[in-house]
Chain A
Amino acid sequence: MADPDIKAVMDARAGEARAQRRRAARIRISALSVAVIVLLLVVNVLAHGNFLEPGNFTHVLRQITVNTILGVGQTFVIITAGIDLSVGSIVGLCGMVMAIVANTLHLGGPGTFIVTLVVGLAIGCGSGWINAQPVVRLGLPPFITTLAMMQVGRGLAFILGHGQSIPLADSTPFDWLGSGYIFSGVLGFVGIPWAVVVMALVAIVFAVILGRTAYGRYVLADGGNEEAARLAGINTARVKTLVYVISGGCAALGGLMLMAQFSAGTPQAGTGDELQCIAAVVVGGTSLMGGRGTIVGTFLGALLIGVLNNVMNLVHIEAYTQQIVLGVVILLALILDALRKRYFGAR
Chain B
Amino acid sequence: MTAAALDAPLLVMRGIVKSFPGVRALDGVSFDVRAGEVHALVGENGAGKSTLMKILAGAQPADSGEIDVDGKPVVIDGPKTAERFGIGMIYQEFNLVPDLGVIENIVLGVEPRRGLFLDKPAAVKEAGQVLAELGIVLPLDRPARRLSVAEQQLTEIAKCLVRRARLIVMDEPTAALTDREIDALFALIGKLKAQGVGFVYISHRLEELPHIADRVTVLRDGKAIETRPIAEMPQDDLIRLMVGRPLESHFPELPAVLADAPIVLDVRDLSSDSGVPVRDVAFQVRRGEVVGLAGLVGAGRTEIVRAIAGADIPTSGEIRINGERIVVRSPDSAIRAGIAFITEDRKAQGLVLGMTVRENTTLAHLAQFVRGLFVDKAAETEATNVEIAELHIRTPSSEQIVSNLSGGNQQKVVLAKWLIGQASVFLFDEPTRGIDIGAKAEIYTLMVELLERGAAIVMVSSELPEVLGMSHRVLVVRGGRIEVAFDRAQATPDKVIAAATGVALRAMGAN
User: What is A's interface to B at a CB cutoff of 8 Å?
Assistant: 1-3, 6-7, 10-11, 13-14, 16-18, 208, 212-214, 217-218, 220-221, 224-225, 227-235, 291-292, 345-347
Contacts and interface: CB of A to CB of B under 8 A. Distances in A.
A213 B374 contact: yes
Interface string B380-417: 01000110111000001111110000000000000001
A240 B336 CA distance: 22
A227 B312 CA distance: 12
A127 B386 CA distance: 45
Nearest to A208: B374
A229 B352 contact: yes
Interface string B333-372: 0111000010100001111111100010001101100100
B364 A7 contact: no
Contact of A10 (B21, B348, B375, B385): B385
Given A10-B385, A13-B397, A230 B331 contact: yes
Counting contact residues on chain B (CB < 8 A from A), the size range is: 35 or more
Given A13-B396, A221-B359, A233-B332, A214 B370 contact: yes
Interface of B: 21-22, 309, 311, 330-332, 334-336, 341, 343, 348-355, 359, 363-364, 366-367, 370, 373-375, 381, 385-386, 388-390, 396-401, 417
A12 to B, nearest CB: 9
Contacts of B353: 224-225
B375 A214 contact: yes
Most buried by B among A2, A225, A229, A292: A225
A231 B309 contact: yes
A292 B354 contact: yes
A10 B374 CA distance: 24
Contact of B21 (A13, A217, A345): A345
B388 A232 contact: no
B384 to A, nearest CB: 9
A255 B417 CA distance: 43
Contacts of A346: 354, 401
A13 B336 CA distance: 34
A213 B396 contact: no
A10 B397 contact: yes
27 contacts: A2-B386, A2-B389, A3-B389, A6-B389, A10-B388, A10-B398, A13-B397, A14-B398, A14-B399, A208-B374, A214-B370, A217-B363, A218-B366, A220-B352, A221-B363, A224-B352, A225-B348, A228-B363, A230-B311, A232-B331, A232-B363, A232-B364, A233-B331, A233-B364, A235-B332, A291-B355, A292-B354
B359 A233 contact: no
A136 B439 CA distance: 38
A231 B374 contact: no
B22 to A, nearest CB: 8
A195 B22 CA distance: 46
Given A232-B363, A291-B354, A18 B399 contact: yes
B359 A217 contact: yes
A291 B353 CA distance: 10
Given A225-B353, A233-B335, A10 B363 contact: no
A346 B356 CA distance: 12
Given A14-B397, A224-B352, A231 B385 contact: no
A218 B341 CA distance: 19
